[in-house]
Each structure stands twice: as structure tokens, then as C-alpha cells.
Amino acid sequence: MNLLWDQHACLPLQAGTDIGVLSRFARPGPTFVSVNAGYSPHSFADSVALLEYYRNAMAGRPDLEVIAAVDDIETAGAAGRIAVAFDLEDSNPLDGDLTNVRAFADLGVRTLLPTYNHANRAGGGCLDTEDTGLTEWGRALVAEMNAAGMVPDGSHCSERTGLDICEVSALPVVYSHSCMRAVWDHPRNITDDQARACAETRGVVGITGVGIFLGPNTPTLEAMARHLEYAVELVGIDHVGVSTDHSFDAADFLAEVTANPELFDESYTRWGPIRWMPPETFVTLGDHLRARGWSDSDIDAVLGRNYERVARATWQDRNRVGTAG
């Protein structure tokens, strides 16, 4: 079976949440899911508490395993477990302290977005009217992420900030959950220039399953395939991947949109309540692409092997260097 690699999914951001919903990704073969552990409203203490809860809740479960190294994904899959690591959707949980990058890496965070929709200390966001790009602190952040074995992620960043991340990173960059603006014009989607710059870092553009990013709130395999095929034609099969950006906390997220208008704009609300592609649909993507005439090798690359390549080039083996939490 193909490796299936979902580079971003969202549990409720609170201790006590049911992490068992991740079992909805269950399928034959190795499966990896990156779970979000905080974004711009969260502090270092908030995200550490979430990570410790998630890690402890998954410990000893027969269906889930927090992994420390890339090779653990295949081992977990052979044992019938879904492999899990974590990501952060903003640099605010660092509390302005770059030494916290390594602390998060030790807790299983493998990917970090410098900004979430709006400008912060690191750079600009995709919903800003003025695009000032990556700041000096943001550049230092990318360097620290490279050193700590954490993948820089341009999703939610402004165009200039994303391009700057690709320029300064010594290791591959990803857009973990960003569709193509040329296919559907949404401010959260990325331009052709951003996709090309990402590919030049040996990185991956991750087409995601959120309806408002795929089209007019259409979270279908057909819509996802259109974005995938455009991206493959633009940057090549080795630089395209997938993610659900599935919100297991949909009600909480929609309440967040209402409660935090400064973080979102009408592009999030004009099509009604956001719709997400469910995991049960996402895990059938390979069959859908095969029916469209995709080769097995191309399906294998996009479903997971491209992200696996980035991880092997970036992650440090926490089995060797030690873990926290």
C-alpha cells in the first residue's frame, strides 16, 4: 500500500479532547498525520500543555503512535498504528524566544508556520493589505528551525514572506496546506511564483481538502485533483503533496472565526459555514487519481513519498538526540 501522509489536521485545541477521532484515518498501509498544537492566540505554555496532553493521551493506544523519526512511520504502520507528529500554525507560541524552537522539536513539533493570516514579529500574513515580507527575526527563526530539524511552512504567510522563507532556508520548505490560486482565487491559496520557489528548495506544495480553498466550498476529490494536476504540471511530480487540514473541532473553529474577526475576513465566510473533506474520503484519493489515469509511481509520490523525502532531509532523529515530555 502507498504511504499516506497528511501534513496538517486539527484536533480541538484543549486538554481532554478525544484524540481517538484520528482513527478515522485508518487504512491498510503506513499512515502519517501531523496534528496542530497551537496557532497565533497561543503562548508557549498553552502549546506545551496541549502537546503534553496529546502525547500522554496517545501513549499506549493500539491505534496511534507519536513518532520520533521517519523510519518509525513504517514500523507504526506494520503494527496497525497511525503515526503522529505535530505542527504549529504561527510563531507566537515561541513567546519571542528562539530557544523554544528546540523545545518544541523535542516535543514532536516537526513543522512551523512563521505567520498565521496577519503580520507578526516574523513577517506578513496572507490577509494583510501590505506585504512587508520576512523580518530579520523571521530570518533568524528560519535558521533556528533548520538547525533544530523543523520544516519551515509558508501556509498562511503573505506571498513575499513565503518567497523570503524559500530564499533564506538552507533546507526544504513546504506549503503544508495551501491550494493553487490560479485554480481558485482565494487569498489563502498560493501563487505560481510561490510554488516554484518552494520546489526550488526541494520542497513540497500540499494541496488541502478545505472547501473554501478548493473552490466555492467544494471539498471533493474532483476539486482536489484539479489543484493537484495544476501543481504537478507547474512544478513537477516530485514537489506536490496532500493534506486534509481537516478540522475535527469544526464547531470550535467556526466559533473562532466569529469571535476573532481580526484573524479572518469575508473570504472565510462568504460561502457559508466552511466544509472540510472527511478523512474517510481523503483516504480514497489514490483510487480517485488512478481512475483519472495517474500512474502508481505518481500517486505514491503525491500521497506521501515527497513529504517523506523532505522529512528525511530535515528531521533530526529524536530517538538519538533525546526527547522531552
Give the model's pLDDT for residue 265.
Answer: 84
Is the pLDDT at 170 greater than 60, yes or no?
Answer: yes
Would 322 be classed as within a structural domain?
no
Provide the number of structural domains found in the chain. 1
Q: Which distant-in-sequence residues (6+ apart) come within 8 Å of 309 by Cβ?
A: 172, 202, 238
Q: Which residues contact 129 (CB under 8 A, 6 or more apart)?
A: none
The confidence score (pLDDT) of residue 60 equals: 84
What's the predicted TM-score (pTM) here?
A: 0.95
pLDDT at residue 177, rounded to an integer: 98
**75 domain residue, yes or no:** yes
Q: What is the mean pLDDT of residues 154-178?
A: 98
How far is 273 from 6, CA to CA, in rounded Å?
23
**Cβ(247)–Cβ(8) below 8 Å:** no
How far apart are the C-alpha atoms of 133 and 119, rounded to whole Å?
A: 9
What is the per-residue pLDDT for 325? 36
CA distances from 177 to 40, 224, 242, 267 (A): 17, 12, 7, 16
Q: Does some domain include residue 324?
A: no
Mean pLDDT of 71-91: 97
If one counts every other C-beta atom within 10 angstroms of the C-beta of residue 28, the result is 11
CATH number for the domain spanning 105: value is: 3.20.20.140
307 within domain boundaries:
yes
Q: Quick one: which of 202, 108, 198, 96 has its CA closest to 157?
A: 198
In the predicted model, what is the mean pLDDT of the chain?
Answer: 95
Q: What is the model's pLDDT at position 254? A: 87
Residue 325 lies in a domain: no
β-pairing verdict for 4-10 and 151-152 = unpaired
Instruction: Specify the pLDDT at position 319.
Output: 65
Structural domain boundaries enclosing 296: 4-317
Report whether pLDDT(320) > 70. Answer: no
Is 321's pLDDT higher than 80? no
What is the model's pLDDT at position 57?
97
Per the domain annotation, does 323 fall within a domain?
no
Cβ neighbours of 125 (radius 10 Å): 24
In a domain, 177, yes or no: yes
With beta carbons less than 8 A apart as the criterion, state whether 308 and 3 touch: yes
In a domain, 211, yes or no: yes
